[in-house]
Chains A and B, each alone.
Chain A
C-alpha cells in the first residue's frame, strides 16, 4: 500500500506558482527524501501534504484516501510534521507537558499523563524535563520534544523538514539515530526534506531531486552512494556535497 501518493501537484502561494507537475508514490514503511536547493519547492510539498499550503491542484492521497485542501482531522492523525528550527517551533510559554498533551486534548484522547511520560521516554528525554519550558532545553533536546509532539497522535507518517540542519554534527547524529530507531520500532513512513546528501544516505531508501519546483530525478539510495545520477543538476549537487568522483553509467 502506498502511504503518500502525489499526482501532478501544482502548489501556489497567491499568484506565485511554486511547484509544477510533482508526482510521487511513497510506499508504507519507506523513508523517502526530497533534496534540492533553497527555493526549489521541497518544503512547500511537505506543507501541502500537511494542509498548511491549501492552494494546490492535482491530487494528494494519504493511504489511498484523497485529502481535502484544508486541515483534515483524519490526515492529521496519520500524518504529522517536524519542523526545521527547534528554537522556533515549540511554544515558548508552554511547558513541555502542555506542548505534548495539546494534540491529545484536541483529538479528545484520554490518559494524557501516562502517554506524555511514555513518549518522553521513547525519544530519550528524562522525565524531569516534563515540566520545564523550551528555553531551559538545548537545541537537541528541543528537537526531541518536537519529534515527541509529532508522535503523540501515533501517526504512521512523519514529514520531516530539515530536522537536523540547525544542530551540531554530534547532536545531529543523536537525532538521526533516534529517528531511525523510532521508524524501526513504530514502522513509520518518513518523507524528509533536506539538502544534506550524506544524511539521505544514512536515513533514506529513495530520494527525489527537485529544482525550480519540478522533480528532475528520482533515484534509489544505492544510486546516490555511487553517484550514478542521470540528470546534470543531480550530479552537480552530488559533486558539491563532496561525493567521490561519480561512476558514470555509460
Chain B
C-alpha cells in the first residue's frame, strides 16, 4: 500500500465564544488506509468534529485549519463547495447517529437510496432500481421491494440504520465515516448492523472511520484505535492491544466500564487531575 487514503496532519477546529475562540480539536494527526480505524472518546472530546471536518461539513463561524488534510491526493481544505459535492457521497460518505433524524421523512426509502446514484452516475432508471434492491438485500432487509416503497416512519430503528448504510454504500465510496452508527439501537440489533458494515467494508476493500464512545465495540470492529480526550489524541494503538493501553485516560475509561462478569464492589472513577486533563 503506497499512500494512505486519508492523511490528516495538525487538524484544528475552533468555534467563537464570548470569551474568544475555543479549540475543540487541538492539532491532531492521523492517517487512514484501507483499514478500519476507530476513534473513541467521551462527549466533547472532539471525535465527531474530526469526522465532520474530513467531509468539510463544519460551517462558519466554525473554522477548520490543518497542515495537511489529504484524501487520496486531493487537498480537501482548498476544494470549493461545488467540488466537494463530487466527493461527498461518491468518494467519502457518512453514516449518522440517529436514523430518525437523518432520513428525509417525506421521501420513500427507495427514492432516498437512489438519490446518490442519480446524482453521481448516469444510469438508466431500471438499472438504478435494480441496484437499490440489491443494496437493500446486501444490508439484509427481507423483501426489499416492499421496503423500498415505505416511508422512514414506517420502519424500525434498526431497519432505518440499515437503510442509512445502504444509502451511504450504494455509490461505492472509498471511505466510510460512521459516527456512532449504533448508539440509538438495541444491543442485539447493534451487533447485526456492525456485522453488515464490517462485511461490506471487507468485501469492497474500503476504509472505515468508526467514531464511538464505546471502547469495547470499537475494539471488536476495528484494526486500529485512536483515543481522544479534550480535542487531543492521547493514544493510538492496535485494537487487539487495547487492554495493554498505557495512557492513564484510556486505562481509566477501560476500568470504569462494568464487565458482564463483574465482581468489583466499586467501579474506579476517572481522576481527571492525574493526567492534567480538564
Q: Which residues of A contact B (CB under 8 A)?
A: 37-38, 139, 168-170, 172-174, 176-177, 180, 195-199, 201-203, 224-227, 236-244
Question: Which residue of B190, B213, B220, B261 contacts A168 across the interface (Cβ within 8 Å)?
Answer: B213
Q: When the two chains form their complex, are residues B266 and A241 in contact, meaning their CB atoms are under 8 A apart?
A: no
Closest to B220 in A: A242
Q: When the two chains form their complex, are residues B252 and A170 in contact, meaning their CB atoms are under 8 A apart?
A: yes
Closest to B215 in A: A169
Asked if B270 is at the interface of the complex by the 8 Å CB criterion, the answer is yes
Sort A-B residue pairs by CB-CB distance and give the 7 closest, nearest first. A202-B258, A173-B256, A173-B267, A225-B261, A37-B186, A201-B262, A168-B42
Instruction: Compute how far the CA of A226 lies from the CA of B188 in the bound complex, rounded to whole angstroms.
Output: 19
Closest to A224 in B: B260
Question: Which residue of A224, A236, A242 contacts B216 across the interface (Cβ within 8 Å)?
Answer: A242
Using Cβ atoms and an 8 Å threshold, which residues of chain A touch B191? Answer: 239-240
Q: When the two chains form their complex, are residues B261 and A180 in contact, meaning their CB atoms are under 8 A apart?
A: no
Instruction: Compute how far the CA of A169 lies from the CA of B214 in the bound complex, rounded to whole angstroms.
Output: 8
Asked if B268 is at the interface of the complex by the 8 Å CB criterion, the answer is yes
Given A169-B213, A177-B269, A201-B258, 5 more contacts at CB 8 Å?
A: A173-B269, A225-B262, A226-B261, A236-B188, A239-B191
Instruction: Compute how far the CA of A195 lies from the CA of B183 in the bound complex, rounded to whole angstroms.
Output: 12
Q: When the two chains form their complex, are residues B260 and A201 in contact, meaning their CB atoms are under 8 A apart?
A: yes
Number of A-B residue pairs with CB-CB distance less than 8 Å in the complex they form = 84
Asked if B259 is at the interface of the complex by the 8 Å CB criterion, the answer is yes
Closest to A199 in B: B258
Q: When the two chains form their complex, are residues A176 and B186 in contact, meaning their CB atoms are under 8 A apart?
A: no
Question: Which residue of A173, A195, A239 contacts B268 across the interface (Cβ within 8 Å)?
Answer: A173
Asked if B253 is at the interface of the complex by the 8 Å CB criterion, the answer is yes
Main SS class of interface, B: loop
Query: Most chain-B Cβ atoms within 10 A of its Cβ — which of A173, A180, A238, A239?
Result: A173
Using Cβ atoms and an 8 Å threshold, which residues of chain B touch A238? Answer: 260
Question: Which residue of B42, B190, B216, B260 contacts A170 across the interface (Cβ within 8 Å)?
Answer: B42
Q: When the two chains form their complex, are residues A169 and B260 in contact, meaning their CB atoms are under 8 A apart?
A: no
In the assembled complex, 29 residue pairs joining A and B whose CB atoms fall closer than 8 Å, in A order, are: A37-B187, A37-B188, A38-B186, A168-B42, A169-B42, A169-B215, A169-B256, A169-B257, A170-B270, A172-B256, A173-B257, A173-B258, A174-B269, A177-B269, A180-B265, A195-B186, A195-B187, A198-B262, A199-B258, A201-B258, A201-B260, A201-B261, A202-B264, A225-B260, A236-B188, A237-B187, A240-B187, A240-B190, A241-B260
Using Cβ atoms and an 8 Å threshold, which residues of chain A touch B266? Answer: 177, 180
Q: When the two chains form their complex, are residues A202 and B269 in contact, meaning their CB atoms are under 8 A apart?
A: no
Instruction: Compute how far the CA of A21 lies from the CA of B260 in the bound complex, rounded to whole angstroms.
Output: 29
Known: A169-B42, A173-B268, A177-B269. A198 touches B188 (CB 8 A): no
Instruction: Compute how far the CA of A38 lies from the CA of B186 in the bound complex, rounded to whole angstroms.
Output: 7
Using Cβ atoms and an 8 Å threshold, which residues of chain B touch A240? Answer: 187-188, 190-191
Instruction: Compute how far the CA of A196 lies from the CA of B190 in the bound complex, rounded to whole angstroms.
Output: 12
Query: Most chain-A Cβ atoms within 10 A of its Cβ — which of B213, B215, B267, B268?
Result: B267
Q: When the two chains form their complex, are residues A168 and B43 in contact, meaning their CB atoms are under 8 A apart?
A: yes
Instruction: Compute how far the CA of A199 lies from the CA of B269 in the bound complex, rounded to whole angstroms.
Output: 15
Closest to B157 in A: A38
Asked if B76 is at the interface of the complex by the 8 Å CB criterion, the answer is no
B128: min CB distance to chain A, Å:
33
Instruction: Compute how far the CA of A199 lies from the CA of B256 in the bound complex, rounded to whole angstroms.
Output: 11
Q: When the two chains form their complex, are residues A201 and B259 in contact, meaning their CB atoms are under 8 A apart?
A: yes
B194: min CB distance to chain A, Å:
10
Instruction: Compute how far the CA of A173 lies from the CA of B259 in the bound complex, rounded to whole angstroms.
Output: 12
B52: min CB distance to chain A, Å:
20
Using Cβ atoms and an 8 Å threshold, which residues of chain B touch A227? Answer: 260
Asked if B189 is at the interface of the complex by the 8 Å CB criterion, the answer is yes
Closest to A239 in B: B191
Closest to A233 in B: B188
Instruction: Compute how far the CA of A244 lies from the CA of B42 in the bound complex, rounded to whole angstroms.
Output: 26
Using Cβ atoms and an 8 Å threshold, which residues of chain A touch B187? Answer: 37, 195-197, 237, 240-241
